[in-house]
Structure 1
Amino acid sequence: MTDPDDGLPPLPRLHLALEVDGDGAHPAAWRHSGRPPGAVLTPRAVRDVVAAAENAGFGLVTFADSPLPPGADPDASPYDPDTSPYTTPYDGTRPAGRIEAGTRAAYVSVLTDRIGLAPVLHVAPTEPFHLATQLASLDHASHGRAGWVVGAAAGEAALATVGRAPLSAGELRRETADVIDTARALWDSWEDDAVIKDVATGRFLDADRVHHIDFEGASFTVKGPLITPRPPQGQVVVLAPDALEADTRADVVLVARPDLAAVAARAAVARESGAPLVFAEVEVVLDTDTPAADRLAVLDEAADWPESGRLRHVGSPEALVALLRQLAESVDGVRLHPAVLAADLPVLTGRVLPELSATGLWQVPRPGATLRDTLGLPRPANRFAAPAATHA
């Protein structure tokens, strides 16, 4: 694969993911969405943005989520009527809210046929068994296109929503590792051929091919097995932010660093740890009829956009293409975070992606492909399959 007539060496293939939560990554995005704030909570809003991403050729969409509503003070008590975002009436000065990420992904799973769907599910506020079941169900509903962005909400306000005390950084890392290990074991708890549907004997499944996992973690135990058959992908694709230090357990490490050199350095660490794929996190504000810098200034007047540690591109579509070409030298993919979906996504789909396709840097996923197919990841063998091979 070479670029046409530019004399450059062959380019690697770059996977493209898109974050589609709410109206965009900027806290003031809802003010520039072109629709009433409450419209973000409608099925149409979810359907339209995912359809636009799939039609453009993105390989994956992700759905951010939090135990607290968007725009909420993370230090506010969810049970204090003076500070709680749950009890304060909506006044039109903040985002209207969000639907749970797994629910959004499940809704569009039957409306799409090739784009991966990866909700954020948080390890600390969510029971590991239910988390694994929800993701396995999403993989079945989407015919093998489910991913999981590992969420790490563990502060006082977030965990007060489920009656837990906040976790230290070390405790969160341990719990993250335990939850990922539990989910992976549960996805293997049914062998691929456990469902036999034997009409003659009246047996739906072979019980010898359904296994207890008997997992004991630092703060929980899970016996299993899962209540759903093994996911079509065998294992749901796990995407872990690099800050969680879960490189050895992830299929994709999401690297948030503010410059190219730092991204390349962290990507190298992830690869040395054995991570199959590394994606860079990139926030984008693009030129439209208004220069990107002017657009960002207007957004920032309404609300500060806190530094996230991610690369942030503010400028032309052509400059973004050049940035992505540079990133392709050190990472396998990019997750884009448009500042305002209504403004930036049309520029991405109309100007950035066609240019990437023309250079051979990026390719549209094929219909019917699993997310693992799209990402070039093999389907893992079931950990219980070898000892069960002698079963009749």
Structure 2
Amino acid sequence: MRALTWQATMKVAVDEVPDPVIEQPTDVVIRVTSTAICGSDLHLYDVLGPFLSKGDVLGHEPMGVVEQVGSEVRNLAVGDRIVVPFVIACGSCFMCQRGLTTQCETTQNRESGTGASLYGYTELYGSVPGGQAERLRVPLADFNAIKVGSELPDERYLFLSDILPTAWQGVQYAELPEGGVLGVIGLGPVGQFAARIGRYLGHRVIAVDPVAERREMAERHGIETLDLTDDVLDRLRELTDGRGPDSIVDAVGMEAHGNPGAAFAQFAAGLLPDPLAKKAAKTVGVDRMAALLLALDAVRRGGTVSLSGVYVGAADPMPFVTMFDKGITLRMGQCNVQSWIDTLLPIVEDPADPLGVEDLVTHTVPLDEAARMYDVFKKKEDGCIKVVLKP
């Protein structure tokens, strides 16, 4: 089959790879009909290369049609249309029973000291082949496949795989008071949805992003927006009675604009021999923290900062004097996708499309164009906000 594979730092390619097969009786194999490029994939493109091997299949936002079914699968049949959450979990362990599927004790990667296995996301998370491919093996399928209807287009359901529940969890973790103001830093795909979810839940939302096309998209959904200017902190406070938003979602993460020193360190570490690069990442690695620092500065005293953007630095300096003085609550973590599906599925199937899930994709291209679109998405060229690949 054809699949998008990692080749080296800043280099991916679509290659022929072996077809997936049923390996465990609880597996299914699907024909992928749509799969997206996530902002988290860009971390693999230029930062996390030391934890990848040449030929690894990337991607963790797929959906498709079941083609093969393991002998112990009870809830799925050939021909079913499913969405695949990026988290692989068992549904029955101590953590899963508490809704913490990203901490699943069945698929947890104890050797690397990380949580549940993820599709297409490095040896740190199981080296599981990803979904930017023509076919995908889905382990523990009865719990890890979301069966959906056949009437609506893929784009209505696809984002249940990651970014929509990630944004929903980010807003839930923000713990907004009734009538509170939500700030959103970054209007990439997760930020777009976080802002819309804030509005859907009845809040005023103010979002910050340096890219005009992203601000324009958010404004179509009733979001107030600000450019990332030198005085953005002052402007956020001016718009909120001098206090700052009640809660802020950081939807950017470690690749924030600014922090040129950290940016160089990230890139340089990726060019080291893998054993040295891995040690550096696990001991002295730092993130670009401009978005997080802005959120901590801008949130009102006693407020909450919720991190949906990914951070991986082991030695990130944190402004604890400010955080302690302001009484800030900080919440974070990979999204426990399966825990939010029952809430989100009826919303995406609402004919009114209240979260505008069909107003996010800017580029739909064949799988063979995936390598080019990684570069376009990385550079934010051609108004690129969200890419969907069609295998």
Same fold (TM over 0.5): no
Q: Which has the larger radius of gyration?
A: 1
